[in-house]
């Protein structure tokens, strides 16, 4: 995204807005913010582009930010990216993907898509082990970000990406080990 210096400054202020909605999703600890929605949307829009391109290019605009909550924004961005890479499911409310609505559509369908509370609870239960891993990784990333003291894009490229690749390899090894253990006890999985 190419923006003028003036627009980058305004965009940075938007990302630093501390307002959070009442969303109950593991992608944010206390509701969605403009920064978390930005990263969530960014990930959704560019499937097919490598993780390194998504992560680094998607956060370059945040480096224009200054202010007291810069670390909070950086941590929030890293959390959403980690959530996405762990393959967790969102339970956030979201706007419908359509540019223009008629008044009739707004009345009948509404602008927001909200999940049923029972569905949210089921998804949260399914992802609870991943949520523990997410929290553990976030402790690690927040400490490392403070320690390194580098721009966010550099942190993502040099620390976050390699660590997430390790996490994926660990998960693949575990999956292969689980498959082998199931075969050893006689469980046969059919290919779909």
Paired with 112 in beta bridges are 95
- Interval 137-183: pLDDT, tens: 999 999 999 899 888 878 888 999 999 999 989 888 766 666 666 56
The percentage of residues in the chain with a pLDDT greater than 70, rounded to a whole number, is 60
What mean pLDDT, rounded, does the chain reach? Answer: 75
Assigned domain for 192 exists: no
Domain of residue 56 covers 5-90+128-184
Assigned domain for 132 exists: yes
**What's the rounded Cα separation, in Å, for the pair 178 and 75?**
33
Instruction: Calculate the alpha carbon distances from 52 to 49, 97, 156, 162 in Å.
Output: 8, 26, 8, 10
- Interval 86-114: pLDDT, tens: 989 888 876 666 666 666 666 666 666 67
Give the number of domains in the chain: 1
Q: Which residue has the tokens 């967790």?
A: 88
Assigned domain for 49 exists: yes
Predicted local distance difference test score (pLDDT) of residue 192:
41
| Confidence label for 133 from pLDDT (cuts 50, 70 and 90) | very high
Q: What is the pTM of this model?
A: 0.70
Assigned domain for 160 exists: yes
């Amino acid at each position: 995204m190419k923006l003028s210096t003036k627009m980058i400054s305004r965009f940075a202020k938007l990302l630093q807005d501390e307002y959070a909605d009442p969303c109950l999703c593991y992608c944010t600890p206390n509701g969605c913010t403009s920064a978390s929605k930005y990263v969530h949307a960014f990930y959704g829009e560019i499937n097919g582009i490598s993780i390194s391109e998504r992560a680094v290019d998607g956060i370059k605009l945040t480096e224009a930010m200054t202010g007291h909550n810069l670390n909070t924004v950086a941590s929030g961005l890293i959390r959403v990216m980690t959530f996405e890479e762990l393959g967790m499911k969102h339970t956030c409310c979201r706007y419908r993907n359509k540019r223009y609505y008629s008044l009739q559509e707004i009345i009948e369908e509404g602008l927001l898509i909200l999940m049923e509370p029972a569905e949210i609870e089921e998804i949260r239960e399914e992802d609870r082990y991943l949520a523990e891993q997410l929290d553990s990784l976030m402790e690690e990333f927040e400490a490392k970000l403070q320690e390194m003291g580098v721009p966010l894009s550099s942190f993502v490229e040099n620390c976050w990406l390699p660590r997430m690749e390790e996490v994926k390899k660990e998960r693949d090894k575990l999956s292969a080990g689980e498959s082998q253990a199931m075969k050893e006890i006689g469980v046969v999985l059919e290919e779909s």
